[in-house]
Amino acid sequence: MTSAQKYIMSVSYNSGSGSTVNAYAASAVKALSLELKKLQNEPTEGFHITPNEDNLLIWTVGIFGPPNTIYQGGYFRAQIRFPNNYPYSPPTFKFLNKIWHPNVYDNGDLCISILHPPVNDPQSGELPSERWNPTQNVRTIMMSVISLLNEPNTSSPANVDASVMYKKWKDTKGADDEYARIIKKQVELSKEDAKKNGIIVPETVEEYIVKPKLPENDAGDMIDMDDDYDHYDDYGYSDDDDFEESDEDSGQGEN
């Protein structure tokens, strides 16, 4: 039995008559299985992903520090947790190793507009278009996170001290290098983590850029996501049921 099937059965067993929860969970698993397959077939530079074997709503990601930045050579692990009603509500993103950054809380939680629920909050300073919407996906999330690493949003920092330090570093054109020194220390620590896990971290632009996809006959070990995750009918779910539930509850922004 596949991990997706186990998860759907677990949701069905634990939620009793909660048909909406069941339908959303099945819909989320289906959406994520399709995203995973596409990411495997069309990889993007800068990160790799490992879904939880027992729960497809939890993914571990490894982010490679972009070349020609202070994060070059770094390897930063994080966890993405998807809600049952994904993609109508955003996932959460938490760094698993220590990272000093204006938009990362002390506990590793990332603060980024793209993962904020699509509610109208004038006090936040964020436009509704900057927040989450169901057209976003793991690829767009990761591209936004990698971009944020080197270009923090200091207007509403999660780590005020890091934000102040970053501004000094930028304003002095690197003369006040305390921020850069902290990041470089964390990069060196992350390299040790990568080595322990057998991860080869790209250091140059050439290494960082994703390699072309192998010919189809050379990719025989690629997971067949269609076989692994397209068994929703076995548990009483259908695409029609998913879309009917989605219409009834058109994606509230908050969990």
**Is position 111 annotated as part of the catalytic site?**
yes
What residues contact 102, with CB distance under 8 A and at least 6 apart?
152, 153, 154, 157, 158, 159, 162, 163, 166
Q: Tokens standing for 132?
A: 């989450």
Asked if 156 and 150 count as a contact pair (C-beta separation under 8 A), the reply is no
- Six token digits for residue 87: 């993609």
Neighbours of 68 (CB within 10 A): 10
* Token pair 């966890």: residue: 79
Q: Which two tokens stand for residue 76?
A: 């930063």
- DSSP summary character for residue 110: B
Helix, coil or strand: residue 59: strand
Cα-to-chain-centroid distance, residue 80: 5
The one catalytic residue in 104, 111, 148, 158 is: 111
Bridge partner list, 64: 75
CA distance 86 to 29: 8
User: Tell me, what amino acid is at 205?
Assistant: V
List of E strands, 87-203: 92-95
Q: Give the other-Cβ count within 10 Å of 234's Cβ.
A: 11
Question: Which residue numbers are catalytic?
Answer: 111
